[in-house]
């Protein structure tokens, strides 16, 4: 991975430091309901404040089309103050007089949150005038929002070309973890990819087969591969029109000497419902009116065997309909296996994606993984091998 500057390279005392953070947190009735993303930015803010910087936070919230009170960052800033255990001032805009006046009042070590950058069209357009208006507020720029790094927006990419740019601690930790997973990993590398549809992960699969030693395919997307090989899958979720695509991916994997690991048995039900009566069937014996909703016990053991040989595991997507009670067992068992081996120092494990995080939390395994990314789209695009504008700008 190309080098990037971190807080170790920033002489912060007395400087106005614009810090791009992720404050796009879940809200209900005007209250923040999950502070995970707030907790992740605490180390960067605390370190800068302790070094005597004047910390100015930039972030978006929601998808407003112009100024909209329901998408104001003011209640988030108040919650962040509780998480930080220090005051967080708030400015009613992110550019212009309200922002400039609030920045001018800042003292060394104090923290200010500016209003939602997406209240201005120039944010998503990466407009040069908007970038310049933001840049006037700071002496240095720190990006601590990997989750927004796949967007070439003013506050995520444009500012890095106008001010000396650095990675915050959360960004640094994420980039170092991802480099261990696919950039410069300990081998063998096994990727576990699940989810409902092949169509949403074509780029991902195409990139992984050339980078990993083994690829476990589960979830509904495995059904498309099984169908492409002539296996009867009953009424299971399947993108039959992608059979040729699935066969092409299998051929690409064979050429790259990447072992594809598909289910060999399945947990089958007749209704898509929690705790629906279910049975285990070997593949080829799935009833015509049955639905595959989880990998079966033989598949779990086969995948465990692959995990035991791996030095690095990269995970994206559940292996069954984990959100339904009774059909989470395969995902939970394998998540706990990876967690145990990571805890024992036998492997590096990196996971990401919304459903993946939820599944690992359900298995009480997330805390034992080497790194779990909450970045969603940015994590997926990184796994697809795409350049992330917000990261590339830090390396320029």
Residue 65 annotated in active site: no
If we measure between CA atoms, which residue out of 336, 356, 226, 193 comes closest to residue 292? 226
* H or E element that contains 354: helix 354-362
| Burial of 292 per CB tally in 10 Å (0-12, 13-18, 19+) | buried
If we measure between CA atoms, which residue out of 242, 252, 257 comes closest to residue 198? 242
Catalytic residue among 206, 326, 354, 385: 354
Residue 377 annotated in active site: yes
Catalytic residue among 5, 67, 136, 197: 197
- For 195: left if phi > 0, alpha if psi spans -120 to 50, otherwise beta; the answer is left
If we measure between CA atoms, which residue out of 239, 238, 216, 220 comes closest to residue 322? 220
Catalytic residue among 109, 206, 377, 385: 377
Q: Residue 367 and residue 292: Cα distance in Å, rounded?
A: 29
| Burial of 212 per CB tally in 10 Å (0-12, 13-18, 19+) | buried
If we measure between CA atoms, which residue out of 144, 145, 142 comes closest to residue 163? 142
* Cα angle 88, 86, 115; round to 5: 15
* H or E element that contains 309: helix 297-309
Catalytic residue among 15, 16, 20, 37: 37
Q: In what order do the strands lie in the sheet with 291-295?
A: 278-282, 265-269, 291-295
Helical pair 329-343 and 354-362, crossing angle rounded to 10 deg? 80
Question: Do 78 and 133 contact (CB within 8 A), yes or no?
Answer: no
Q: What is the largest CA-CA distance in the chain?
A: 72
Which residues are identified as catalytic? 37, 197, 354, 377
């Amino acid at each position: 991975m190309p080098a990037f500057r971190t807080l170790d390279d920033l002489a912060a005392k007395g400087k106005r430091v614009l810090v791009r953070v992720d404050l796009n947190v879940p809200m209900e009735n005007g209250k923040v309901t999950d502070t995970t993303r707030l907790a992740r930015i605490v180390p960067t803010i605390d370190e800068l404040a302790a070094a005597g910087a004047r910390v100015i936070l930039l972030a978006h919230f929601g998808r407003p089309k112009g100024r909209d009170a329901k998408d104001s960052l003011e209640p988030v800033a108040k919650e962040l103050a509780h998480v930080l255990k220090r005051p967080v001032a708030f400015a009613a805009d992110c550019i212009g007089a309200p922002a400039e006046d609030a920045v001018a009042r800042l003292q060394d070590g104090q923290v200010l949150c500016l209003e939602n950058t997406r209240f201005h069209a120039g944010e998503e357009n990466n407009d040069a005038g908007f970038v310049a208006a933001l840049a006037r507020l700071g002496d240095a720029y720190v990006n601590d929002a990997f989750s927004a790094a796949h967007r070439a927006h003013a506050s995520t990419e444009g500012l890095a070309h106008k001010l000396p740019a650095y990675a915050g601690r959360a960004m640094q930790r994420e980039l170092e973890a991802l480099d261990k997973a696919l950039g410069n990993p300990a081998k063998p590398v096994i990727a576990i990819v699940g989810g409902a549809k092949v169509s949403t992960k074509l780029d991902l699969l195409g990139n992984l087969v050339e980078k990993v030693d083994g690829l476990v395919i589960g979830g509904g997307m495995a059904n498309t591969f099984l169908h492409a090989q002539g296996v009867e899958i009953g009424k299971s979720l399947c993108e039959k029109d992608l059979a040729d695509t699935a066969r092409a991916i299998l051929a690409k994997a064979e050429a790259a000497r990447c072992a594809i690991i598909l289910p060999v048995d399945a947990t089958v039900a007749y209704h898509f419902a929690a705790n629906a009566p279910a049975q285990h069937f070997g593949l080829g014996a799935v009833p015509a009116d049955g639905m595959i909703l989880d990998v079966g016990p033989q598949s779990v053991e086969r995948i465990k065997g692959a995990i035991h040989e791996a030095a690095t595991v990269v995970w994206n997507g559940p292996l069954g309909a984990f959100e339904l009670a009774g059909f989470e067992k395969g995902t939970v068992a394998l998540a706990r296996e990876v967690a145990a081996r990571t805890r024992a120092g036998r492997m590096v494990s990196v996971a990401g994606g919304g459903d993946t995080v939820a599944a690992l939390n359900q298995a009480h395994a997330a805390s034992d993984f080497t790194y779990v990314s909450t970045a969603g789209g940015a994590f997926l695009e990184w796994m697809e091998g795409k350049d992330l504008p917000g990261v590339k700008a830090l390396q320029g």
